Amino acid sequence: MTDYKKLYHLLFNAITDSLEALGHLDLPTATRLLEEAQIKAEEIILSEE
């Protein structure tokens, strides 16, 4: 069974960190953080199927 609480925390933290990077106009870091979180979340979902 997928642990959606874990996924929520993973994505929420990545969004928070990305917004902080955007506040510093650091677009590459913001993009990287979101892409990495997306990949991790997908891996978690696929590994639990």
CA–CA distance, 20 with 8 (Å, rounded to integer): 18
> pLDDT value at position 48?
86
Mean pLDDT of the chain: 95
> pLDDT value at position 1?
79
> pLDDT value at position 20?
98
CA–CA distance, 8 with 40 (Å, rounded to integer): 12
Instruction: Please give the tally of structural domains in the chain.
Output: 1
**Full domain range(s) for residue 27:** 4-47
